[in-house]
Amino acid sequence: MVWLSQLSVLCKDFHGASFDCTNSIMDHCTSRSNLQKVHLCSTCDLNSLNTFGESSFAVVEMMGSMNILKFYLCVPSNEIVGTTPERKRTWGSLCQLERALRSAAPCTIIIRRNIHMIFDSISEVFDALLSNFGPRGFKKPKDIAGQVVLVTGAGNGIGRLIATKIATTGCILVLWDIDEKGNEETKRMCDDLGAETHIYRVDMSDRQAIYSTASRVTSDVGVVNIVVNNAGILRDGGDFLKKSDDTIDATIRVNMMAHIWMAKAFLPNMIEQNDGHIVCVCSMSGIVGAKDIVDYSASKFGAFGFQEALENEMCHRKRNIHFTTICPSYIQTTMCDRIPLSSSTNFLSPNHVAEEIVHAILTNKRIVLLPKKTYFLYAAKGLIPRRTFQRLLLFVQK
């Protein structure tokens, strides 16, 4: 019996055409042999089929009632014409094949309609794996020379390190901080690296201060291309119930609400230009609830969720805006000195974290977890029981 191999011969000149073009196939093949079209059904009268000799063929239409997806097999007519046991078995096999094709048809249709999305998703998964766990030079960094990069909380700590590392890219730096003296020192360091630097004193807990300073920046420097939301506070650690309402309110306003206000201030120009990049320096405590810093953890959950939701909205509206979220664990800074941690806690180097942030910006990474073992923690959170996850969390924090 000649099945799929013969079908490929019949349809080789109709690549890309719909398979329901039986008449065209028949016309194409009449010069080669005698053909007749057979509609496959359980009630078909085999005796009604005529044979035209050993060299004749029948085109058997599979799933003839389905207009979206049809298959055709070319079978020697003398193998299906008549009522001998062998021919009945051949016909029965064709009927079984049709039932199998009908069962698989919905999946086939879904795959055909979404094939580009499927391949894009697979490509993105491999890209993310190589980007996060492969060699540093896997992805070529983008050129941001001449672009305006705004860094909040640039007066000290991680913010200062981000500013000094990104200053070497040829970008125009805009540094925000409530600490004027610290911000001036960061500006001096960036100037020494050859960067054009502008500084502004801003209280990130004040919505109107953010909006008014954003207008000044646009007027003085130009449209901001990259916003790095780094500013954050942690007043004290310990028992949640012992913290004052003012402390909790300030933490939420700086660590979460400021991200929303910054987006409202700078995102419209990014959308107008159909280009931009918003970076959220978050925390692992924004993914996994952390004891002793409940208010801080809640504020980082809010920042993480806002960043993700805003990214999804821009993606849905097909805006060319990039989003990067950085979630480091405990960093060796004065902020972490306020948290009652075990002496065996492993701290991340501030310099290493800043390098990872800048690299993530330049390669348009979507999310970066530090250290890398926390990717497993992030994936496990939704898969294992809560009590088991809490034990795992204690193990990872050692």
pLDDT score recorded for residue 187 = 98
> Of the segments 94-103, 356-365, 370-379, which one has the largest average pLDDT value?
356-365
Residue 262, token pair as written in the block: 């910054």
Work out the mean pLDDT of the chain and round it to a whole number.
80
Residue 1 — very low, low, confident or very high, per pLDDT cuts 50/70/90? Answer: very low
Task: Quote the pLDDT of residue 11.
Answer: 36
Q: Which residue has the higher pLDDT, 25 or 91?
A: 91
Per-residue pLDDT of 27-78, as tens digits, reads 444 444 444 444 444 444 444 444 444 444 455 554 444 444 455 555 555 5
Mean pLDDT of 339-361: 86
342/228: higher pLDDT: 228
Output the CA–CA distances (angstroms, integers) from residue 381 to 176, 224, 299, 365, 386, in the order listed: 35, 36, 19, 22, 8
Give the pLDDT score at 301.
Answer: 98
Mean pLDDT to the nearest integer, 366-375 = 90
Residue numbers annotated as active site: 296
- Range from 114-123, 212-221, 373-382, 389-398 that averages highest in pLDDT: 212-221
Query: Per-residue pLDDT for 138 more than 90?
Result: no
Tell whether the model's pLDDT for residue 199 goes beyond 90.
Answer: yes
In this predicted structure, what is the pLDDT of residue 73? 54
Instruction: Return the pLDDT at 10.
Output: 36
Q: Give the percent of the chain with pLDDT over 90.
A: 52
pLDDT attached to residue 242: 94
Q: How confident is the model at residue 389 (pLDDT cuts 50, 70, 90)?
A: confident
Residue 90 or 163, more confident: 163
> What pLDDT does residue 82 have?
55
Domains of the chain: 4-113 (no CATH), 144-396 (3.40.50.720)
